[in-house]
Amino acid sequence: MKFVKSDQLMVTVKGTSLLRVIIGFAGFLLFIFVISGLLTVLKPEYRPASSSVHSATTNITGEMLYYLIGWENHYFLQGLPESSPTPEFTQYLFKLSTNVNLDDPRSLLGRELPAFSLFDTEILVAGEGTNYTNMPIESAPPLEVLQTEKEAALQNTEGIGGQAENSPDAPPNTTGDRKVVYVYFTHNRESFLPHLKGVTDPDLAFHSQLNVTNIGDKLKEELEERGIGTVVDKTDVQANLSSKGLTYAQSYQESRSVVEAAVSGNHDLTYLIDIHRDSRRKQDTTKEINGKSYAKLAFIVGGEHANYEKNLAFANQLHDLIEQKYKGLSRGSFTKKGAGTNGKFNQDLSEKAILVEFGGVDNTFEELNNSAEVLAEVISEYYWQAEKVDGTNPSPANES
């Protein structure tokens, strides 16, 4: 034991205690170096990734966080309703360590059955007849379809792409010269069997000329009749993939650059709509209302970006507006996230971005155009209501 004496203070230093501190600090440094070394030498697939951390934190609900904090400060527990169930932390830890959700057997089957992860879409708001057996699903075309230069002949094309014969009355409000809606097509060659001569296989329902881009023409026409300036971008994303040697799975990577260029060049473009076609058959994608046949609509929201909740709110409001006027036409709102999917769908670029599935492989353009008119109707209703709430003064039609 060593005594250090001064005029005002005497400090006693115990040799064994000092030695323990030094050894402890050295051990801590050694531990840090060992952990860093292990993370460096591990193969990439065994390293903890940011996606894993994101997956873990997204499973922590607000109620669970309140309970955790409430263990230290019981005041927080008063903010929870009495009916709120106590979180099952053991189940959460099991899910975190195994990626298996005991409430959803698909989380186990998706790792055991090839391609089953394609069905991991989550139903957020279910439309009429929607359940986990008929959720929207997109299947990639066979490689030979992407590479072939020969396409099916077209049929039943009468009236497709035609403009309205009668000039509609001027809308009460208009965006003037501003274009606020941007319509594009990540899977731009998705087509429909009734218009492809001799084609009956749903996996072959693709065409470079007659496809989902034609829906955009009708949607633009209907939106602008309601005073909403619209841009339709028909960039051939699939052709770009082929020229760059990219795969079909990289479609959103390619369409993202197209959308980014558009919104950076025109900051008025705030409503971003990516139009697709579902791979489901007619019984799941068609609705008759008052003797008129429609292609059902489904709203897909990517769940892995900051705008997720705002995009979801937008999709849910469109679903609700459709349900009020055309009950059963909307299949509901769905989210996709996790391994095996994009998780963003370019929707992080705007708070009003959605992916819309128009019908399925068996729908006709008559049905598709009927639904495009409905979508334009509810988007315009939503838009003008939002403008009114925000205090924006839309331009009268006769001043545009």
Q: Domain-by-domain residue ranges, the chain? A: 2-35, 143-157+172-399
Q: Which of 332, 367, 359 is nearest to 278 (CA)?
A: 359
Amino acid in the structure at residue 210: L
Q: Domain 143-157+172-399: give its CATH architecture.
A: 3-Layer(aba) Sandwich (3.40)
d(CA 124, CA 303): 11
d(CA 320, CA 327): 9
Q: Which of 17, 119, 37 is nearest to 338 (CA)?
A: 119
What's the rounded mean pLDDT across residues 48-59?
55
Question: Which residue's structure tokens are 């360590």?
Answer: 97
Main-chain phi, psi angles of 301, to 5 degrees:
-125, 125
Main-chain phi, psi angles of 276, to 5 degrees:
-130, 175
> What's the pTM value of the predicted model, to 2 decimals?
0.71
**Banded pLDDT at 173 (limits 50, 70, 90):** confident
Beta strand 10-13 pairing with 173-174: unpaired
Judged against a pLDDT cut of 80, whether residue 204 lies above it is answered with: yes
By the 8 A CB rule, do 252 and 344 touch?
A: yes
DSSP result, 356-370: EEE--TT--HHHHHH
Residues whose CB falls within 8 Å of the CB of residue 94, separated by 6 or more in sequence, listed in order? 100, 102
Percentage, residues of the chain above pLDDT 70: 71
Angle (CA) 120 106 57, round 5°: 65
**Banded pLDDT at 400 (limits 50, 70, 90):** very low
The whole-number pLDDT of residue 122 equals: 73
DSSP state of 306: T
Choose between 150 and 59: higher pLDDT. Answer: 150
Tens of pLDDT, residue by residue over 108-136, are 555 555 455 555 677 777 778 777 777 78
Judged against a pLDDT cut of 70, whether residue 266 lies above it is answered with: yes
Question: Residue 366, Cβ neighbours under 10 Å: how many?
Answer: 16
Choose between 68 and 305: higher pLDDT. Answer: 305
What's the rounded mean pLDDT across residues 363-379?
96
Distances (CA, A) of 154 to 71, 107, 198, 341, 363: 67, 41, 9, 32, 15
What's the rounded mean pLDDT across residues 137-142?
73
Judged against a pLDDT cut of 90, whether residue 259 lies above it is answered with: yes
The whole-number pLDDT of residue 20 equals: 81
Q: Which of 296, 264, 317 is nearest to 134 (CA)?
A: 296
